[in-house]
Amino acid sequence: MVVLRDMRVEEYPAYLAYFLPDYAAEIGATFGLDAAAARARAEAEIQRDLPQGPETPGQRLLCIDHQGALAGYLWLRPEASGAFILDFHILPALQRRGLARKALAALQAELAAAGGSQIRLRVAPGNARAQAVYAAAGFHVTGLNMAKTF
């Protein structure tokens, strides 16, 4: 069984320990930045977007629990129609066990109970594994993000 619960303040440093290196790698690959510049951009963006950590208004950080232990994280921005997923991560040791699908189903059930009808997200173009997880959960492509760096 998968349970979604609000992240506690004391859990936020562990989330950042996973998120910042992962996000910096994505920024570096997407925008052609070196590791130091990508890390600096990731840190600046997280400070801008989550200045109060899990207590930041307009954002929701969740822990995904499985059998009473931490299995991953979900970062959402609540919307009138449901939520936008900003980050979704299952811990590496627990991947490929169906927990992502169960967490998405739990999120959908929670949002539907609150009157929501949609979950939106963005997936990095090179993240085929995540794309497959989302497609299997019923998500479909609604657009394409593009950027030009100069």
Q: What DSSP character marks residue 129?
A: H
90-114 pLDDT per residue, tens: 999 999 899 999 999 999 999 999 9
d(CA 104, CA 150): 37
d(CA 44, CA 33): 15
43-52 pLDDT per residue, tens: 999 999 999 9
139-150 pLDDT per residue, tens: 988 887 776 667
pTM (predicted TM-score): 0.90
